[in-house]
Amino acid sequence: VASAFTEVKGLKSKVWLSDKENNVYGGVYTWENRQSMEDYLNSQFYDEVLGSHPNFVNVSYKAYEVLDEPTQITNP
C-alpha cells in the first residue's frame, strides 16, 4: 500500500504510525497546500485504496495549519 502513496499529487511526505498493542495505525501527512489535501480526500484513490482495503477501518482525519516561523527554525 505504501508505494501507492508515492503517486499522490501534492503529498510531500507521509509518516506511518503504529500502536500494535491496541491495533491502531495512522499517519502524519505533509501537503504542498490545503487544496492538495482536499483533492486527495475527494479522490478516487482515497475511495478505492482506503475505502476498500480491509485494514483501513474507522478512518478519520484532522487538518492542522503549519506554524511557519518555528518550522523554519527546525527545518531550515
**Cα–Cα distance, 40 to 11 (Å, whole number):** 9
**Per-residue confidence (pLDDT) for residue 6, from 0 to 100:** 94
> pTM for this structure?
0.83
Q: Give the CA count within 13 Å in the CB-facing half-sphere of 16.
A: 5
How do the pLDDT tens digits run along the chain, 76 residues long? Answer: 899 999 999 999 999 999 999 999 999 999 999 999 999 999 999 988 877 778 788 888 999 999 999 999 998 8
In the chain, where are the structural domains located?
2-74
3-state secondary structure of 27: strand
Q: What is the pLDDT of residue 63?
A: 96
Provide the sign of the torsion angle of the four alpha carbons 47, 50, 53, 58, taken in this order.
negative
Residue 54: predicted pLDDT: 80
**SS3 label, residue 17:** strand
